[in-house]
Structure formats: structure tokens, C-alpha cells
């Protein structure tokens, strides 16, 4: 037999997890808009509840449409399984809560999505989970912050908003040296640009709201398990290696081996927290993922051209994009993200806060809103919107200058984007 | 549960229940480089359905430490010693792939200990390609790639896992990646060198069931024909479109067939 040739990413993005429907031959994934599923008899029901047979019971736990999406992202990331959640935040919460409880500690990159920062800095402490935030460019800082009760190292493949590139192999090695898994939010990269599991990350979360769905029409998240972390050898994760009273003393690692983590997340977290993705949402994410490969290539192509344009513009102080050689992580991005460093970046408009505000209010094709990863180009000026209460020094402490604009470059004709930003930049400099 | 076999610790998944002498027993034996977790669904099913269950980890696999056994004959002996250690006189034996050779060996040489026999994904000979054997010998990941992709039908490589949300290819690959060094090669060699299988098949005295996958390229249906013809009292079920990873690809239909015979 010839050496096996796995299916390529673009093929998996179109097909993984789905075969034409056996009843009617539907080629597209049907939307199973149903809460529950009929049992054949009482023993069949008991067998499903007790994980003896496969199938669906209730759509908070599993749903046939969601299952296709879960398989598809698992296939693209190279994992063993996934859970579709109501939002990216729900995926991150589910991922953390499956691992730890009161008295635990997380070491996280400080360059992360504001919602994740809020979760770790303010909300999880109320449940006894503390977080130490560190500079993602300083591996020693991760190492130094690890405590005896640390149960997770966390970072974003591409940090927010500075586009810091996480050195996933190095940070994973640090985490593993202390028998701790590395969870990576890979929303900005998507599996088309980065494969964190191939770099030894253990768990991936995505906000499916962004590039995966790609059109700004849904809120959703995905939690993906590599199946590679040695929970038993670590000895730090009783939720996975000791009998669970909430499921008839089930020991997940003993019975499920490599799929223990994602199974526990479903049997406990999906069941009890209940942040399930709606089937219609899963369908829309699947529609988006069908074109993920070609969209990401175009996103990156446009981002590189816009970043080049902005870097040489007289009204721009700086551009922070790891696809530019001026970015401190340029070489790391070339190595870890050879297909491109995403299409989200930030730049500084000369003239500070008022100029930034004039710029943002002058764009005509780009949309001024709080989101990223849409097919359409999006911009936001934190100093006049999300962070408007902060003065200059507070903004600086948060790593945000007064003229900073974040852009999520879309799929428009790039010449039109250049024209739009040109006129907005001219407007920004008028006093 | 932990057993003591040949003076060493051995693991058997029992559904967290002790052996009850009033109940019949089912024994599961895994394939090359794998462990009891491949049987998790039937183990949980039969443990709740009035059976004693022993999902064995052969030496060097899963939770049973020690070097792997070198031959199918040795593994067949070890299964009987595991039955002794568990205090089980007679059992239904179920094996997958290499495990099906092991249970065939046990059933032929210890007929008084075996009530019935089920072989999931079986052929005799169970020939291993040179490329796979060579890669396994040097510990190359190519061996795991070959095992993973050759074990799953083309359809399963696209997906459609019976267990919602699971990627079968990834799950299979991870389990093999966790095998102890050298175990995959040792197991493959044991399969390749098992020369007495058809003779053993002719000696089977209990009812036997062969469960095969139409698209199985590891133990193709045509290569199971000889063992099928050799066993005096057998039934054969072929799952259309399925590959070698039948427990993942056809979880419930395989369970339904096992219910018939164990």
C-alpha cells in the first residue's frame, strides 16, 4: 500500500464531519433544529445516558448539526474532538472550568482579548481561580509566574491588540516542564494560518464569530482537545483522573484515554453550564468554513498591502503588524505562521486622540464597530470609544496610545480600501 | 481492576464492578499498540447488563506495565492466566485486530475456558507491509500515520463519527502515539509471524462470530475468507462501507452484534 496521504485543509474545510444525509441525500449539512431525540426504548435511553451507545439525547449536550462543526474544527486543528459553544467566551470558560476549581491559578499572556482578561482578572477570582498576567514576548516571565497551584498556561496565537506572536513551542515546553497544559486562543490565526497542536499546544479555543464564520452574522465558540496531554502523569487534574461523583464515579482518563478532557467538558460543563451553540449558528459557521482557506489567503494579501501603504503614509506614526519586518515578532511570525500573520493589526494616527477620532468618523467603506474577522473591513479607535474614560497615562499602561486604531482587513478590492483610508487620514489631520 | 498475572500487576477495565461468580463474563482484547479504551462503550454496556467485564490491557499496553509479549501464542496464554487471576472459569472472548488472533489462540487451546468467540476485524494471515514494519521498527511517526489512515475507511477519514463531536482519525492517532516505545513494532511482528492461525481456527469448539468491514484494508474481507471457512460453527457479519476501525466507525452496530454472542 502506498504511504497514506491525509486530506488537505481545503478539503477538510468543505467536507470534514459530514456525508450526504442518508434519508434525502442532502449535500449541505441539514439544520437539526430540535431540542431532543426519541429513544427506541427504555434501555436505549439508559445506554445513551450511561455512555454505552452513541447518539443524541438533548441539544444542550450534543446536536447533529453542531457535531459536524465540532468534527470539522477538530479535523482542521488535528485534535480528537471539540465542543461548540454559545460564544468564544463560553468556550474559554468551559475549557478552564473543566480543568480546575477553587485554589487554582493560571499564567496568562497579558496581550489577550479584553473579555478574556475580564474573565481572568475579575470574575474567576470570585470562584477561587487567580491569574498572573505576563509579557507574551518573555518566556521566562511565564516560567517565573508558575506556582505549585498553577493548572494552566494561556495565550493567544496572535495577541490582542498588539499582534504579539506567541512562541507556542517554547511556551508549551515551559508549561509541560511543570506538567501543565497550554491553552491557546487561535481566533486571529484560524487553522488555515497556524496549527497550535503541531506546536505542542494542548487545548485550542476559537471565537467562531470571527474568521471561521467570517461574515459577522453569528456569536459562537469552539473548544478543541488535542488529546495529547498526559493528565495521569501530571497528577494535577483530579477532575480527569479521579472518580467523578456527578457521573457515577466515572474516571475519565481511565475509561476514555486520549479523549478524556473533551468528554469531561461535555459530560459536565456542557451539561451544567449549558452554554450550547444554536444549530442554526453551527450551520452558518459551517457555511463560512467552507471558504476559510481562500478567505484567509485574501485577508492576508489585503492586510499586507494595507500595512505597507500605511507604514509609508505621512499621517501615520507607526504600524504594528507581524507581517511587516518592522514588527518585533516578524521573524517568529515567518517561522510559526508561514501562510501569513493574519489580517488584524493596529496603527497610530498622528495627532493623538482627536485625530484618531476624526479618522474613525471619516471612513466610508470600512465600518466603525467593535468586532474583527468579518469579510468586511472593520476599524475601531479605542481612545474615543471602548477606552474613552481613560486618560493618556492609563491608556499607555494598557498598551494603547491615544492615536491607536485597530483594523480588521476584509476582502474588499484593496485599492478601494487604500482610497478609503487615504481620505480618512486626510480628514484626520485637518485642525 | 488490578490483577496479578505472572507475578506482575495487570489492568482490566471492569466497569468498576467486582467479579460476581453468578454472572457470565466477557473479555475484551485490544489491537496493535492499543488498550482497553477502544472498548469503552461495550465495556460500559455489558457491565450494566448483568455481565462481568474484563477489558484487558496486554503487558506493555495501557495500564499494564512491563515489556510486550512477543508472540500471539504467548498472549493467548496470558489471557487465560488473567482469567485465572480474576477467578473466572469461563468467558466469552472478544478481540479486535491483533486481539482477534489472541482470542482465537486462547479459544482453540483452552476450549474449556471459552463460551463464545467474537473477532472484530480479522484475517489470517494478518500480513504487515514492509513499509509499516520498517517504520515501526525505527519508531518513526510514519508507522502511526499508516496505522491511522489505513485503519479508517475513506469515508471515516472524512468523518461522521457515531460519537458526536469526535474526530475518529485524531482519536486513533493519539492512542497509538501514547503506546510505549517498541510496542507497536513488537505487536506487528507478532501478527506477521502468527503462522498457525488457520489450524487453530479449525479447532474452535464454541460458536464464533466474525465482524468485518467491507472497506477494511488492514484485514480485508477476502483475507478473512480462510478463517471463516476453517471455523466449524461461525457466523460472519460484514459492515458496508466500514474500515478496520470498526469500534469507532460502527460503534452501535458492533455492540448489537456482540450482544448476540456474548
Which of B207, B240, B200 has its CA nearest to residue B106?
B200
- Tell me if chain B has a CB within 8 Å of the CB of A95: no
Q: What is the dihedral of CA B174, B180, B181, B184, to 10 degrees?
A: -70
| Predicted local distance difference test score (pLDDT) of residue A390 | 77
Q: Please enumerate in sequence order all residues whose Cβ is within 8 A of that of A306, keeping only pairs 6 or more positions apart, or say none.
A: A407, A409, A414, A417, A418, A421
For residue B5, name the pLDDT band (cuts at 50, 70, 90): very high
Distance from CA of A224 to the nearest CA of B (A): 10
Question: Which of B150, B160, B164 lies at the smallest CB-CB distance from A1?
Answer: B150
- Whether A266 contacts A222, CB under 8 Å: no
Distance from CA of A3 to the nearest CA of B (A): 7
- Whether B47 contacts A255, CB under 8 Å: no
ipTM value for the complex: 0.97
- Tell me if chain B has a CB within 8 Å of the CB of A29: no
Q: What gap in Å lies between CA B12 and CA B10, rounded to an integer? A: 7
Which of A118, A109, A110, A89 has its CA nearest to residue A398?
A110
Residue B234 main-chain phi, psi, to 5 deg:
-140, 160
**Average pLDDT over every residue of B142-148:** 97
Residues of B in contact with A16 (CB under 8 A): 158-159, 167
Cα B81 to its chain centre, rounded Å, is 17
Distance from CA of B85 to the nearest CA of A (A): 21
pLDDT (tens digit, 9 = 90+) per residue, A382-420? 888 877 777 888 777 777 888 899 999 999 999 999 999
The dihedral through the CA atoms of A131, A135, A140, A144 has a sign that is negative
Q: What gap in Å lies between CA A200 and CA A194, rounded to an integer? A: 12
| Predicted local distance difference test score (pLDDT) of residue A2 | 76
Packed helices B98-109 and B72-86: angle between N→C axes, nearest 10 degrees: 70
> Rg for chain A (alpha carbons), in Å?
22
| Predicted local distance difference test score (pLDDT) of residue A161 | 78
Q: Which residue of A has its CA nearest to B160?
A: A17
Residues of A in contact with B131 (CB under 8 A): 1, 3
Distance from CA of A70 to the nearest CA of B (A): 5
Ordered alpha helix ranges (H), A221-322: 231-234, 238-241, 252-256, 260-264, 271-272, 279-289, 292-311
- Answer whether A80 sits within 8 Å of B158, measured CB to CB: no
| Predicted local distance difference test score (pLDDT) of residue B124 | 93
Residues of A in contact with B41 (CB under 8 A): 51-54
Q: What gap in Å lies between CA A134 and CA B218, rounded to an integer? A: 50
**Average pLDDT over every residue of A2-16:** 94
Q: What number of C-beta contacts closer than 8 Å exist between A and B?
A: 147
Q: How many CA atoms lie within 13 A of A400 on its CB side?
A: 27
Q: What gap in Å lies between CA A418 and CA A318, rounded to an integer? A: 17
For residue A204, name the pLDDT band (cuts at 50, 70, 90): very high
Which residues are bridge partners to A408 per DSSP? A344, A378
Residues of B in contact with A3 (CB under 8 A): 131, 142, 145-146
For residue A128, the 8-state DSSP code is: T
Global pTM reads 0.97
* pLDDT exceeds cutoff 80 at A46: yes
**Average pLDDT over every residue of A161-183:** 96
**Average pLDDT over every residue of B204-211:** 97
Output A276 or A370, whichever has higher pLDDT: A276
pLDDT (tens digit, 9 = 90+) per residue, B158-179? 999 999 999 999 999 999 999 9
Q: How many CA atoms lie within 13 A of B72 on its CB side?
A: 31
- Answer whether B162 sits within 8 Å of A6, measured CB to CB: no
For residue B229, name the pLDDT band (cuts at 50, 70, 90): very high
For residue A3, name the pLDDT band (cuts at 50, 70, 90): confident
> Which helix H or strand E contains A368, and what residues bound it?
strand A367-368
Could you write out the DSSP letters of every residue in chain B?
-EEEETTEEEEEE-TT----TTSEEEEEE--TT--GGGGHHHHHHHHHTTEEEEEE--TTSTT--SPPPSSHHHHHHHHHHHHHHHT-S-EEEEEETHHHHHHHHHHHH-GGGEEEEEEES--SS----HHHHHHHHTT-HHHHHHHHHHHS-HHHHH---SSTTB-HHHHHHHHHHTSPTTHHHHHHHHHHT---HHHHHHT--S-EEEEEETT-SSS-HHHHHHHHHHSSSEEEEEETT--S-HHHHTHHHHHHHHHHH-
- Answer whether B171 sits within 8 Å of A47, measured CB to CB: no
For residue A59, the 8-state DSSP code is: T
Strand B91-96 with B24-29, pairing: parallel
pLDDT (tens digit, 9 = 90+) per residue, B7-54? 999 999 999 999 999 999 999 999 999 999 999 999 999 999 999 999
Q: How many CA atoms lie within 13 A of A352 on its CB side?
A: 6
Which residues are bridge partners to A85 per DSSP? A221, A276
Q: What gap in Å lies between CA A387 and CA B74, rounded to an integer? A: 71
* pLDDT exceeds cutoff 90 at A137: yes
Q: What gap in Å lies between CA B192 and CA B188, rounded to an integer? A: 6
Q: What gap in Å lies between CA A215 and CA A371, rounded to an integer? A: 11
* pLDDT exceeds cutoff 80 at A12: yes
| Predicted local distance difference test score (pLDDT) of residue A142 | 98
- Tell me if chain B has a CB within 8 Å of the CB of A57: no
Amino acid at each position: 500500500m502506498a504511504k497514506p496521504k491525509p486530506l488537505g485543509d481545503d478539503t477538510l474545510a468543505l467536507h470534514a464531519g459530514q456525508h450526504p444525509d442518508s434519508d434525502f441525500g442532502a449535500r449541505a449539512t441539514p439544520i437539526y433544529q430540535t431540542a431532543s431525540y426519541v429513544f427506541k426504548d427504555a434501555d436505549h435511553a439508559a445506554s445513551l445516558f450511561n455512555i454505552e451507545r452513541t447518539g443524541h439525547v438533548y441539544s444542550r449536550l450534543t446536536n447533529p448539526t453542531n457535531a459536524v462543526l465540532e468534527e470539522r474544527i477538530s479535523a482542521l486543528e488535528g485534535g480528537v474532538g471539540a465542543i461548540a459553544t454559545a460564544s468564544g467566551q463560553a468556550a474559554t470558560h468551559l475549557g478552564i472550568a473543566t480543568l480546575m476549581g477553587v485554589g487554582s491559578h493560571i499564567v496568562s499572556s497579558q496581550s489577550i482579548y479584553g473579555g478574556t482578561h475580564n474573565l481572568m482578572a475579575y470574575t474567576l477570582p470570585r470562584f477561587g481561580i487567580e491569574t498572573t498576567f505576563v509579557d507574551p514576548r518573555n518566556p521566562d516571565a511565564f516560567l517565573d509566574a508558575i506556582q505549585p497551584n498553577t493548572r494552566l498556561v494561556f495565550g493567544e496565537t496572535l495577541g490582542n491588540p498588539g499582534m504579539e506572536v506567541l512562541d507556542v513551542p517554547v511556551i508549551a515546553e515551559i508549561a509541560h516542564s511543570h506538567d501543565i497544559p497550554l491553552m491557546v486562543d487561535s481566533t486571529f490565526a484560524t487553522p488555515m494560518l497556524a496549527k497550535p497542536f503541531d506546536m505542542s499546544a494542548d487545548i485550542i479555543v476559537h471565537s467562531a464569530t470571527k474568521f471561521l464564520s467570517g461574515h459577522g452574522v453569528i456569536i459562537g465558540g469552539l473548544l478543541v482537545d488535542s488529546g495529547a496531554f498526559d493528565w495521569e502523569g501530571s497528577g494535577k487534574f483530579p477532575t480527569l483522573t479521579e472518580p467523578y461523583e456527578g457521573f457515577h464515579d466515572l474516571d475519565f482518563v481511565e475509561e476514555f484515554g486520549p479523549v478524556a478532557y473533551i468528554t469531561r467538558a461535555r459530560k459536565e460543563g456542557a451539561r451544567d453550564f449549558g452554554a450550547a451553540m444554536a444549530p442554526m449558528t453551527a450551520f452558518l459557521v459551517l457555511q463560512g468554513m467552507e471558504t476559510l482557506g481562500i478567505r484567509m489567503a485574501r485577508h492576508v494579501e489585503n492586510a499586507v498591502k494595507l500595512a505597507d501603504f500605511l507604514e509609508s503614509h505621512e499621517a501615520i506614526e507607526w504600524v504594528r503588524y507581524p507581517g511587516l519586518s518592522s514588527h518585533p515578532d516578524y521573524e517568529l511570525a515567518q517561522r510559526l505562521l508561514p501562510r501569513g500573520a493574519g489580517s488584524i493589526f493596529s496603527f497610530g494616527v498622528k495627532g493623538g486622540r482627536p485625530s484618531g477620532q476624526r479618522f474613525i468618523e471619516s471612513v466610508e467603506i470600512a465600518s466603525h464597530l467593535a468586532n474583527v474577522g468579518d469579510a468586511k473591513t472593520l476599524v475601531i479607535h479605542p481612545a474615543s470609544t471602548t477606552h474613552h474614560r481613560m486618560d493618556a497615562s492609563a491608556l499607555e499602561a494598557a498598551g494603547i496610545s491615544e492615536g491607536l486604531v485597530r483594523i480588521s482587513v476584509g476582502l474588499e478590492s484593496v485599492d478601494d480600501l487604500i482610497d478609503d483610508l487615504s481620505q480618512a487620514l486626510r480628514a484626520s489631520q485637518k485642525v | 481492576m488490578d490483577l496479578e498475572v505472572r507475578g506482575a500487576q495487570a489492568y482490566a477495565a471492569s466497569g468498576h464492578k467486582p467479579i460476581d461468580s453468578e454472572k457470565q463474563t466477557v473479555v475484551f482484547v485490544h489491537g496493535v499498540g492499543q488498550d482497553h479504551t477502544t472498548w469503552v462503550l461495550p465495556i460500559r454496556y455489558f457491565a450494566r447488563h448483568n455481565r462481568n467485564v474484563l477489558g484487558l490491557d496486554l503487558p506493555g499496553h495501557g495500564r499494564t506495565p512491563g515489556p510486550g509479549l512477543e508472540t500471539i501464542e504467548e498472549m493467548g496464554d496470558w489471557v487465560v492466566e488473567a482469567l485465572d487471576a480474576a477467578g473466572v472459569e469461563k468467558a466469552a472472548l472478544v478481540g479486535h485486530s491483533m486481539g482477534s488472533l489472541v482470542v482465537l489462540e486462547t479459544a482453540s487451546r483452552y476450549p474449556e475456558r471459552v463460551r463464545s468467540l467474537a473477532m472484530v476485524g480479522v484475517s489470517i494471515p494478518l500480513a504487515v507491509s514492509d513499509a509499516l514494519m520498517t517504520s515501526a521498527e525505527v519508531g518513526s511517526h510514519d508507522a502511526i500515520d499508516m496505522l491511522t489512515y489505513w485503519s479508517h475507511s475513506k469515508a471515516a477519514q472524512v468523518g461522521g463519527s457515531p460519537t458526536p463531536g469526535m474526530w475518529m482519525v485524531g482519536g486513533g492517532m493519539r492512542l497509538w502515539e501514547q503506546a510505549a516505545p517498541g510496542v507497536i513494532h513488537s505487536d506487528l511482528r507478532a501478527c506477521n509471524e502468527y503462522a498457525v492461525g488457520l489450524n487453530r481456527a479449525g479447532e474452535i469448539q464454541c460458536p464464533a462470530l466474525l465482524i468485518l468491514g467491507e472497506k477494511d484494508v488492514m484485514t480485508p474481507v477476502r483475507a478473512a475468507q480462510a478463517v471463516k471457512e476453517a471455523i466449524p460453527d461461525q457466523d460472519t457479519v460484514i459492515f458496508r462501507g466500514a474500515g478496520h476501525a470498526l469500534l469507532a466507525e460502527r460503534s452501535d452496530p458492533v455492540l448489537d452484534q456482540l450482544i448476540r454472542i456474548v
